[in-house]
Amino acid sequence: MTNQVLIIGGYGRIGSSVARDLANYTNSEITITGRKPKVNLKEFYISRVKYVALDLGDKERVKKIINSYNKSSKSLVIHCAGPFHNRDGNVLKNCIEAGINYVDISDCRNFTYQALEYSKAAQKAGVTAIINTGIFPGISNSLSRKSIEQFDEPEEIHLSYVVGGSGGAGVTVMRTTFLGLQSHFDAWINGKWQSVKPYSDREVIKFPSPYGKIGVYWFNMPESLTLANSFPVKTVTTKFGSFPDFYNHLTWMTAHLFPVSWLKNSAVIEFLSQVSYKMTQVSDKHSGTGVVIQAKVIGKKSGAKDNFCSSIIYKDTATVTGIGTGGIAELILCRKLNKPGVWSVENSVSTELFEQVMQSRGFVKNHSDKSVVYQSLN
């Protein structure tokens, strides 16, 4: 039986990147969904792809479509319809009830809380559900695990991410950024949860070539929750920045100078997102749409304090997000990843499997005593 994959939100930039990865690396019948009644599939340049119109607000239709898939390891639902700040666990719930495995690209901590509450139900139903996949979160979790494994006693995880312009991900990534500025969040610092203001405490990080030194700021990411619960560390730092750097200063001003009521107004968020996206359409030509992530861990090895850094560099953020999610989907479809329950990436994907996926997609590993960098040859 051919693998059947339903990608909810698959008509968007990220969803189509996931579809393209699966078409390249699996033998699957792929169906993508979007809110438009009709689309031109020729623009995808993907074989074996079908389209179904679907609005997530129509919960009965969502349930009906998910239930139309076979209850077997050959079926998989991938939830790519962000921003996840506005989503609930309904798609996951339907998958568990239908006995169908599930993956999502969620990047919101509140959504992560909701999803993890379904873990016992998924385990009982024999459903493997992997949340927070993609690039960050997703590959960033695997980089953290890689660095953690170098130590006898890991103490601190410092995650830093930088995206060039729009990242090639469309206006949705702008909405996600501004939604993330709305309120303080809890971060695991020195063994306790402490309230942190988003886009504060600028830190200049030296990233691998060709990026160099770039400023990053506190940002609310699911990794700050899951990594703190997955590993015995005292601190988990998650900091994000944009390239070119002037976008960071504009975002800082939005977070610190705008009234809170503005940031919680959906019309203001949409206006800021549209304006920002139009700006990046110009700057992307010069900055590119790439991404670099650095997962630095400080800890003890053989009694001595040390550090180790795992990094990834890729030329297009949307494409590598598709690789991160598509790789995990492939592992589930080929039964290399079978772990009933709801799991974050670092709790479900071993470093060995992660590196197999990256190698199959043309990434090479440049290793030294205190670092490893995954970089694509494609």
**pLDDT digits 0-9 by tens, 26-53:** 999 999 999 888 877 777 777 778 999 9
Q: Which are the contacts of 259, defined by CB distance < 8 A and separation ≥ 6? A: none
**Which residue intervals of the chain bear CATH 3.30.360.10?**
136-317
How would DSSP label each residue in 5-62?
EEEETTTSHHHHHHHHHHHHHS-EEEEEEESSS---GGGG--TTEEEEE--TT-HHHH
Smallest Cα–Cα separation from 129: which of 148, 102, 108?
Answer: 102
Token couple for 183:
């309120």
Predicted TM-score (pTM) of the model is: 0.95
pLDDT, tens only, 158-196 = 999 999 988 888 788 888 899 999 999 999 999 999 999
What is the rounded average pLDDT of the residues 103-114?
Answer: 96
- At residue 290, the 3 state secondary structure works out as coil
User: In 302-343, at which residue ranges do the beta strands (DSSP E only) sit?
Assistant: 304-314, 341-343
Q: Are 144 and 159 in contact (CB under 8 A)?
A: yes
- Length of the chain, please? 378
**Which residue intervals of the chain bear CATH 3.40.50.720?**
3-134+318-361
- At residue 272, the 3 state secondary structure works out as helix
Cis peptide before 137 (omega within 30 of 0): yes
Amino acid in the structure at residue 188: W
Cis peptide before 340 (omega within 30 of 0): no
The pLDDT of residue 287 is above 90: no
Amino acid in the structure at residue 195: S
Domain 136-317 belongs in CATH node 3.40.50.2300: no
Host H or E run for residue 124? helix 119-125
* Separation CA 364–CA 40 (nearest Å): 36
- Measured from the Cβ of residue 31, the count of other Cβ atoms closer than 10 Å reads 22
- At residue 217, the 3 state secondary structure works out as strand
What is the rounded average pLDDT of the residues 129-147?
Answer: 98
pLDDT confidence tier of residue 74, bands split at 50, 70 and 90: confident
* Separation CA 153–CA 223 (nearest Å): 19
pLDDT, tens only, 236-281 = 999 999 988 889 999 999 999 999 999 999 999 999 999 999 999 8
Domain 3-134+318-361 belongs in CATH node 3.40.50.880: no
Residue keyed to tokens 């506190």: 218
pLDDT, tens only, 61-73 = 999 999 998 776 6
Q: Are 365 and 373 in contact (CB under 8 A)?
A: yes
| pLDDT computed for residue 1 by the predictor | 65
